[in-house]
Chain A
Amino acid sequence: MPKDHGIGASPKRREDVRFLTGTGNYTDDINVYGQTYVYFLRSDMAHGNIKNIDTAAAAAMSGVVRIFTGADFEGVGGIPCGWQITDVHGEPMQEPAHPVLAIGKVRHVGDPIAAVVAESLEEARNAAEAIEVDIEELPAVVDMKAALEDGATKVHDDLANNLCYEWGFVEDNRAAVDEAIKNAAHVTTLELRNNRLVANPMEPRVALGQYNRADDHSTLHTTSQNPHVIRLLMGAFVLGIPEHKLTVIAPDVGGGFGTKIFHYAEEAFCTFAAKACNRPVKWTSSRSEAFISDAHGRDHVTKIELALDADNNFTALRCDTYANMGAYLSTFASSVPTWLHGTLLAANYKTPLVYTNVKAVFTNTVPVDAYRGAGRPEATFQVERVVDKAARELGVDPIALRRQNFITEFPYATPVAVEYDTGDYNATMDKLEVIADIAGFKARRAESEKKGMLRGFGVNCYIEACGIAPSNLVGQLGARAGLYDAATVRVNATGSISVMVGAHSHGQGHETAFPQVVAEMIGIDESQIDIVHGDTSKVPFGMGTYGSRSLAVCGSAMVRATEKIINKAKKIAAHLLEAADSDIELKDGQFSVAGTDKSVAWGDVTLAAYVPHNYPLEDIEPGLEETAFYDPANFTYPSGAYCCEVELDPETGKVTVERFSAADDFGNIVNPMIVSGQVHGGIGQGIGQALLENAAYDENGQLLSASYMDYAMPRADDVPFYAVDHSACTPCTHNPLGVKGCGEAGAIGSPPAVINAVIDAMQSGGHNVTHIDMPASPSRVWEAMKG
């Protein structure tokens, strides 16, 4: 029987009611007295020198409050990067300035040149059109390899070249890996591009800055996954506002997927301008604006080589990647192709030698940063594609080749510096073979072929490092912040509980799932517990939601704080029951003295804490509120096996996903319904990456897919129902809940399965195609089959 409450149950989500009745509170739903509107005049040119900006005529136009340009930000800090990478020579990465508004140069289409604050958005836009901008166009740097050639136009004139860094990992293994490849019985090589994507949460970004002169306090409402991170970065690095004078609030947020982690210029601008104008300043991104101002994702160009011995054991892996940084370094951009990518290249396999070399490159494109999975999808895609290609070259079953090379002993120290605590890759593959009905594929293929269609089958495995991350470790690796999280459990006098958490929920259902944990620990009803999140003035300093970390890190903090609560409550109960602390047991919300029938209810204990008439005041303080910070001991390592079946129309090249199955090991699970939903969503995005989505630039740095007219978002009829299973469970060994994280798995695990299936379909039709780049659009598939 499935549980009906507590950990492991699937209660309906409490946040749904407000979203289903139109009473959510998203940032754009908030309007305040005296509010002004900002319109950003953005560069329509990819690269150019700003010769002159004349705002005089525009400033005189109706409704204009003030016009800002880069000159207004000369003395203000720039948008910081949160992770410093040390290059192969031991030198720090090249780190360009990133002004709030462009100073001297524009570096991508969408780079903000000026900002008009006006009484209405229409007036702001009218005035922005009247600003006279004289820009001398420069050649656009778009292609990464060309950007690194001698004499290439520089995106940043004050840097030596367009190379942010060259990173090698593990550099000490480099020669050994090359040697192993040279001596291998078989080497499979693959060159590929991991396509650039736009995250596209359905809610575009919004920022509302306010300033109160009475107490010199700034407040920013923003569409963020991590309000404390925004307060830290914007307060300390950009605007110089101390924490106690700055509140950042992320209310209901309509999806994030990584792109709402980062601190953006528009947030700093609205906060700055609210003070400068002494008026609230609001910015609401249009979707078109989002395409040229939200950080993009992926965009790696990679060559990967897999060496095998005569028995088909993997002996070495080498990967050479060019990673596009775009025009500036976004908040976590530098960490994505390095530590979030290189450390995952052992994947699920015993490959003893791994080396990756990454060249991070500046181009005249929108900055690139983390998007659902962040580095791990790129690692997974290339490994699982090259393994599949090797199986085809060697004529062996792709599942058997994977099983043969699986890591089976845990803990397992990989050659790329991480230690997997637990996992059982055969178990998830076993589950997959059942739920995907792999045995029935042949019959389904025959049915497709009767209709004149090709049918393909593709499988892959994945591993990810989640629960980001141990602070001392990431500090050594260059992170400029800690990556703990925090929770405060505030028990009220009558026993109800408010839990203030550093994690932010923007679709993940924390408001429902987190109370399940606390309710289970105390033995009270979940309805007694509410989660508070998203407001730096209310919640402790937590680092927010990304990297599938909320439950593993913030949830652990919540457990620790709840443990403190229980310990204190037991002392109070012991006093009330005239027993020793050590004899008190807590079960189903009842404190009892072991071996007796003496007991006191949770509510009586909490009341005593706040009405301490009969209370051990000499030993403990009144009240019942505890905070815990939790810094993880290791990453968590969710893993799984995914499978996709496609039908391919050989006449048009159109690929249709007919079946998709996912078997995951997420460790322990608090709310299976929510976990499945996370996997579904990730698979949808993964199918989108594999078949549909493509942020493409032309040679002039113009984004060709700059709206939903050209950027193909997955729609309901692009995907099937998914079969998901997460019953294979090897709990995480180093956090109190044994949880691993599930938010990114679907997006990490699905693209290679889709492409492997597309290749299988094409080959089944007699087309000797060994690789196709994503998205495998109809035209690309047709071109590939044409040869």
Chain B
Amino acid sequence: MYSFEVERPTSVADAAAALGKDEAQALGGGQTLIPTLKQRLASPSVLVSLAGIADIKGVSVDGGTVTIGGGTTHGVVAAEAGAYPALAALAGNIGDPAVRNRGTIGGSLANNDPSACYPSAALASGATIVTNSREIAADDYFQGLFETALEEGEIVISVKFPIPEAASYQKFEQPASRFALVGVYVAKFADGVRVAVTGASEGGVYRWSEAEAALSGNFSADALDGLTVSGDDMISDLHGSGDYRAHLVKVMTKRAVAAAS
């Protein structure tokens, strides 16, 4: 790693101020960032740890919405977001237990790794990403591989998830990293179904609108039978071709529909 200092503010305001420094970078749980730093792929002067900010941690339920603090670890979401079982299940299957004790939802959403799980949950749930300066709808938030609507110094304070009538996340793991080779999140709301796909596309997480249309009319796996998924814009690598990923998108979507409760 290059040399840098670590600051540990205890309030959002202090964190925002610290992030205003030259080459400052936010540090969530560090489970993706620290390996990146080890490879010297980033050279911050200051890492601003968000782990000490109590205000951005925790899970709360208010009516039909689960709100998760940006600094909440996957382990806590798995244990405490029972009001939204599909989301809790997703969190409980990210990485491994030790990673889940450090990695945070805010860190995951800020990084927007194309193979991460959380972006699909946020997008399929129609979540709202609350930052220290504004609220961003998930549909506007994800902007391609590792790209989001976050501005420099903007911190994910919380994520508000409307609780669907039924939902399920189905992940097909890449055999080595155990990240999603293809992950599909299906969420059924009163006004329609949302389907978000992670791991597959060269453009990062996306909504599969044809599936949403088909499932909104008939929420059953059979409703997807007539649909085809093109492998053209899918990631193709050592672990599978674009066509394979396209195939898995449909398989995982069907499984998610079947499992949704």
Chain A residues with a Cβ under 8 A of chain B: 122, 125-126, 129, 286, 288, 651-654, 692, 694, 696, 704-705, 708-713, 777-779, 782-783
Q: Is B208 an interface residue (CB 8 A)?
A: no
Within 8 A of A (CB), among B1-36: 1-3
The answer to whether B176 touches A708 (Cβ under 8 A) is yes
Bound-state CA distance A652–B177 (Å) is 18
Bound-state CA distance A709–B40 (Å) is 17
Other than A708-B176, A777-B239, A779-B241, give 14 A-B pairs with Cβ distance below 8 A: A125-B40, A129-B40, A286-B38, A692-B175, A692-B176, A704-B237, A709-B177, A710-B176, A710-B238, A711-B176, A712-B175, A777-B175, A778-B240, A778-B244
Bound-state CA distance A778–B2 (Å) is 38
Bound-state CA distance A239–B1 (Å) is 33
Smallest CB separation, A649 vs chain B (Å) = 9
Specify which chain A residues have a CB less than 8 angstroms from the CB of B40 in the assembled complex. 125, 129
The answer to whether B239 touches A122 (Cβ under 8 A) is no
**Which residue of A288, A704, A779 contacts B39 across the interface (Cβ within 8 Å)?**
A288
Specify which chain B residues have a CB less than 8 angstroms from the CB of A126 in the assembled complex. 2
**Which residue of A125, A651, A705 contacts B176 across the interface (Cβ within 8 Å)?**
A705
Bound-state CA distance A35–B177 (Å) is 36
**Which residue of B238, B240, B248 contacts A696 across the interface (Cβ within 8 Å)?**
B238
Q: Is B172 an interface residue (CB 8 A)?
A: yes
Bound-state CA distance A186–B51 (Å) is 69
Main secondary structure, interface of B, reads loop
Bound-state CA distance A126–B238 (Å) is 32
Contact with A along B237-254 (1 / 0, CB 8 A): 111110010011001000
The answer to whether A779 touches B244 (Cβ under 8 A) is yes
The answer to whether A705 touches B238 (Cβ under 8 A) is yes
**Also in contact, A694 and B244, with CB within 8 A (given A122-B3, A709-B176, A712-B176):** no
The 16 listed contacts between A and B (C-beta, < 8 Å) are A122-B1, A122-B3, A651-B251, A652-B172, A652-B248, A654-B172, A692-B176, A704-B237, A704-B238, A709-B176, A710-B238, A712-B175, A713-B176, A778-B172, A779-B244, A782-B244
Number of cross-chain contacts by CB at 8 Å: 49
Smallest CB separation, A754 vs chain B (Å) = 14
Bound-state CA distance A708–B176 (Å) is 6
Specify which chain A residues have a CB less than 8 angstroms from the CB of B241 in the assembled complex. 779, 783
Smallest CB separation, A460 vs chain B (Å) = 23
Which of chain B's residues has its CB closest to A775's CB?
Answer: B175
Specify which chain A residues have a CB less than 8 angstroms from the CB of B244 in the assembled complex. 653, 778-779, 782-783
Specify which chain B residues have a CB less than 8 angstroms from the CB of A705 in the assembled complex. 176, 238
Specify which chain B residues have a CB less than 8 angstroms from the CB of A704 in the assembled complex. 237-238
Which of chain A's residues has its CB closest to B248's CB?
Answer: A652
Specify which chain A residues have a CB less than 8 angstroms from the CB of B238 in the assembled complex. 694, 696, 704-705, 710
Smallest CB separation, B17 vs chain A (Å) = 28
Specify which chain B residues have a CB less than 8 angstroms from the CB of A286 in the assembled complex. 38
The answer to whether A778 touches B251 (Cβ under 8 A) is no
Smallest CB separation, B236 vs chain A (Å) = 10
Smallest CB separation, B247 vs chain A (Å) = 7
6 closest A-B pairs by CB:
A779-B240, A712-B176, A712-B175, A709-B177, A779-B244, A651-B251
Smallest CB separation, B208 vs chain A (Å) = 17
**Also in contact, A708 and B1, with CB within 8 A (given A651-B251, A779-B240):** no
The answer to whether B176 touches A778 (Cβ under 8 A) is no
The answer to whether B177 touches A708 (Cβ under 8 A) is yes
Which of chain B's residues has its CB closest to A126's CB?
Answer: B2
Specify which chain A residues have a CB less than 8 angstroms from the CB of B38 in the assembled complex. 286
Specify which chain A residues have a CB less than 8 angstroms from the CB of B251 in the assembled complex. 651-652
Specify which chain B residues have a CB less than 8 angstroms from the CB of A652 in the assembled complex. 172, 248, 251
Bound-state CA distance A720–B45 (Å) is 47
Bound-state CA distance A778–B172 (Å) is 10
Smallest CB separation, B3 vs chain A (Å) = 7
Bound-state CA distance A694–B238 (Å) is 9
Smallest CB separation, A613 vs chain B (Å) = 64
Specify which chain B residues have a CB less than 8 angstroms from the CB of A653 in the assembled complex. 244
Smallest CB separation, B148 vs chain A (Å) = 22
Q: Which of A654, A692, A713, A777 has the most CB of B within 10 A?
A: A777
Which of chain A's residues has its CB closest to B182's CB?
Answer: A652
The answer to whether A782 touches B176 (Cβ under 8 A) is no
Bound-state CA distance A782–B247 (Å) is 10
Specify which chain A residues have a CB less than 8 angstroms from the CB of B2 in the assembled complex. 126
Bound-state CA distance A118–B42 (Å) is 23
Smallest CB separation, B69 vs chain A (Å) = 28
Bound-state CA distance A783–B241 (Å) is 9
Within 8 A of A (CB), among B218-261: 237-241, 244, 247-248, 251
Bound-state CA distance A380–B248 (Å) is 34
Smallest CB separation, B101 vs chain A (Å) = 18
Which of chain A's residues has its CB closest to B244's CB?
Answer: A779
Bound-state CA distance A779–B243 (Å) is 10
The answer to whether A778 touches B1 (Cβ under 8 A) is no
Contact with A along B163-184 (1 / 0, CB 8 A): 0000000001001110001000
The answer to whether B177 touches A710 (Cβ under 8 A) is yes
The answer to whether A779 touches B172 (Cβ under 8 A) is no
Bound-state CA distance A696–B237 (Å) is 11
Which of chain B's residues has its CB closest to A713's CB?
Answer: B176
Specify which chain A residues have a CB less than 8 angstroms from the CB of B177 in the assembled complex. 708-710
Smallest CB separation, B249 vs chain A (Å) = 11
Specify which chain A residues have a CB less than 8 angstroms from the CB of B39 in the assembled complex. 288
Which of chain B's residues has its CB closest to A649's CB?
Answer: B251
Smallest CB separation, A699 vs chain B (Å) = 13
Bound-state CA distance A549–B110 (Å) is 54
Bound-state CA distance A288–B38 (Å) is 10
Specify which chain B residues have a CB less than 8 angstroms from the CB of A712 in the assembled complex. 175-176
Which of chain A's residues has its CB closest to B175's CB?
Answer: A712
Q: Which of B1, B176, B239, B248 has the most CB of A within 10 A?
A: B176
Specify which chain A residues have a CB less than 8 angstroms from the CB of B239 in the assembled complex. 710, 777, 779
Within 8 A of A (CB), among B160-219: 172, 175-177, 181
Bound-state CA distance A653–B177 (Å) is 18
Specify which chain B residues have a CB less than 8 angstroms from the CB of A779 in the assembled complex. 239-241, 244
Smallest CB separation, A415 vs chain B (Å) = 40
Specify which chain A residues have a CB less than 8 angstroms from the CB of B181 in the assembled complex. 778
Specify which chain B residues have a CB less than 8 angstroms from the CB of A777 in the assembled complex. 175, 239-240
Smallest CB separation, A653 vs chain B (Å) = 8
Within 8 A of A (CB), among B75-97: none
Q: Which of B38, B39, B172, B175 has the most CB of A within 10 A?
A: B175
Specify which chain B residues have a CB less than 8 angstroms from the CB of A692 in the assembled complex. 175-176
Smallest CB separation, B111 vs chain A (Å) = 15
The answer to whether A778 touches B175 (Cβ under 8 A) is yes
Specify which chain B residues have a CB less than 8 angstroms from the CB of A125 in the assembled complex. 40
Specify which chain B residues have a CB less than 8 angstroms from the CB of A711 in the assembled complex. 176
Specify which chain B residues have a CB less than 8 angstroms from the CB of A783 in the assembled complex. 241, 244
Bound-state CA distance A651–B177 (Å) is 21
Bound-state CA distance A652–B1 (Å) is 39
Specify which chain A residues have a CB less than 8 angstroms from the CB of B172 in the assembled complex. 652, 654, 778
Bound-state CA distance A692–B178 (Å) is 12
Bound-state CA distance A158–B40 (Å) is 37
Specify which chain B residues have a CB less than 8 angstroms from the CB of A654 in the assembled complex. 172
Which of chain B's residues has its CB closest to A718's CB?
Answer: B175
Smallest CB separation, A482 vs chain B (Å) = 41
Smallest CB separation, B62 vs chain A (Å) = 37
Which of chain A's residues has its CB closest to B38's CB?
Answer: A286
Bound-state CA distance A713–B1 (Å) is 25
Bound-state CA distance A779–B240 (Å) is 5
Smallest CB separation, A717 vs chain B (Å) = 10
Specify which chain B residues have a CB less than 8 angstroms from the CB of A782 in the assembled complex. 244, 247
Which of chain B's residues has its CB closest to A129's CB?
Answer: B40
Smallest CB separation, A655 vs chain B (Å) = 10
Bound-state CA distance A779–B39 (Å) is 29
Which of chain B's residues has its CB closest to A696's CB?
Answer: B238
Smallest CB separation, A196 vs chain B (Å) = 13
Bound-state CA distance A777–B181 (Å) is 12
Which of chain B's residues has its CB closest to A715's CB?
Answer: B178
Smallest CB separation, B225 vs chain A (Å) = 13
